[in-house]
Each structure stands twice: as structure tokens, then as C-alpha cells.
Amino acid sequence: LEDYLETKRVAFPRFYFLSNDDLLDILSQIKNPRAVQPHLLKMFDNIKKLEFGENNVDVIAIESAEGESIPLAKYPKARGEVEKWLSVLEQYMVLSLRRLAKTAVMDYEGKKRTDWIFDHPCQLVLTVSQIYWCREVAASLASEDGAQGLRDYQQECYRNLGDLADLTARKLNKIERRMLGTLITTDVHSRDLVDQMVDENVSGPTQFGWQKQLRTEWEVNGGPEGGEVVLRQNNSYFGYGYEYQGA
């Protein structure tokens, strides 16, 4: 039995997060794809539920523990060996978030930020906000007088925080309020970093005071979908995993 379960775990490594009893519970109900539902949060960061199409085979969306639903770009067929269709689900999760990230990036400059944040999944609002914060800081430092450019952008950071604070008075649903609270926390941290760089008189994009920061960037020509989220810090380079994290 242990050898049999090991073959399943090798085929779909997220099964290593499950106990033998949990894995057997799934495998014993191979004809019932909904049998995986109670175990999803043990295998994925924040997928609690799968939404099925009318044929009860196509998985059309993933849902977080907070109730946010993300439509999938392609629909995996929940039939056959469970480790195979879960592997396809994992691939389509990554594909869907990559495409939604590209949409959020392209949409950012055409809207007011206070409107834009309610038009995209929470995870991508936070990620793309960081992309544009990094882009704007770098542009400020690359201006003719980098130190003054950063001081000017410092005031912009304070204005952006004030705009977000005003939104808290709106009538928001649970997911929107949670996202807004997290975004404000992130923006406060970003503002503090700008304050620190101003105090340290950082005046150029290649200086250590900026290069040491963990920077989220959008590579226009990266990835299979014509754009990729990447993270940089000094000489280090990391790809974004597109693991769904919900709200």
C-alpha cells in the first residue's frame, strides 16, 4: 500500500501534503471528483472549492476560503486518474493567473487606481500595485535630479494612501474590505521605504539603497503569454509562481 501511494505522490507531488488516510479517501472515490474538495486547502495555498460546469466534469473556476472566485482560462476535465487531472488543474491555475496579471497590468494606466483595484482579483491587485510602485520609484530616481524626484514621489505616496483611506468609508463587501486593508498595509510599507531612501539621500536607480529592495517587475516580453511577473533584489532574479492565494 505504501508503494502504491508513493507512485501517486510522485505523479502529483502535492499529495505529499496529505496523510495516507486523506489520500486513500480521494483515491477510493475516483469517480467522484468532488471528493477532493475537503482536502484542497491542504494541497493548494488557498483553493477551497472547485466550481464545476453543467456537465459535472469541467472545472470552470477555483474559489478561495474567503469566497473569491477565479474563472479558469481553460477547463480541466475532472475524470480518470485524479493525480492527472489535478496536475492539469495546477497548470491551468498558473495559466489563468498569468493571463489575469497581464490584463491587470494593461488596465492599470487607463483607470484611476481607486477604481482599478475593484476590477481585478485581490492577489493581482496587490502584485500589480507593487509593479507600478517599483516602476514609479525607479523613474523618479532616474530623473535629472534623482534625489528631488524621489522627494516628489514621496508626496505622491502620501496622497495615494489618503485616497485608499477615503475608500474605507465606502460600503464594501467582505472581500473588498479585506483586500483594501491589505493594500493599505502594503502601501504603508512602501511609503516607509521611500521615506527611508529619502533620509539616506538615495539619488539613482543603481544605488544600493534601491537595489537592495525586493522589487516586483513586469517583463513585457517574458513568459509564454507575452508578459511575466518577476522579482529582483540586487543581482538575484526570481520568477513569480502564480500560486493562487485568494484575498
In this prediction, residues 128-153 reach a mean pLDDT of: 94
Whether the pLDDT of residue 226 is over 90: the answer is no
For 85, the grid coordinates are 487531472
Q: Which pLDDT score, from 0 to 100, does residue 204 have?
A: 92
60 membership: H or E segment, kind and range: strand 59-63
What pLDDT score was predicted for residue 104? 95
Kindly state the cell numbers that stand for 24.
486513500
Cα–Cα dist 108/105, whole Å: 5
pLDDT of 94 over the 80 cut:
yes
Q: Which one-letter DSSP state was computed for residue 39?
A: G
pLDDT tops 90 at residue 64: yes
Residue in the structure block whose three cell numbers are 527611508: 196
Give the residue-averaged pLDDT of 228-235. Answer: 93
Q: How far apart are CA 107 and CA 125, in angstroms?
A: 11
Least confident of 12-21, 44-53, 79-88, 217-226: 217-226
Band (pLDDT 50/70/90 cuts) for residue 109 is confident
pLDDT of residue 103: 94
Predicted confidence (pLDDT) at residue 119 exceeds the cutoff of 90: yes
- Count CB neighbours of 197 within 10 A: 23
Which residues sit opposite 58 in a β-bridge? Answer: 77
220 touches 227 (CB < 8 A)? yes
pLDDT in the model for residue 45: 93
User: What's the CA dihedral at 184, 233, 225, 112 to 10 degrees?
Assistant: 30
At 224 the pLDDT is: 73
What's the DSSP call for residue 232? E
Count of Cβ atoms closer than 10 Å to residue 48 Cβ: 17
Its pTM stands at 0.89
Residue with C-alpha cell 516586483? 216
CA distance 15 to 22: 9
Cα–Cα nearest to 200, from 188, 189, 212 = 212
- At 151, the amino acid letter reads R
Share of the chain above pLDDT 70, in %: 99
Per-residue pLDDT, 98 = 94
Per the CB < 8 A criterion, the answer to whether 72 and 61 are in contact is: yes
- Give Cα 239 to chain centroid, integer Å: 12
What is the C-alpha to C-alpha distance for residues 233 and 192, in angstroms, rounded to an integer? 18
Instruction: Give one word for 67, left, alpha or beta, with left for phi > 0 and alpha for psi -120 to 50.
Output: left
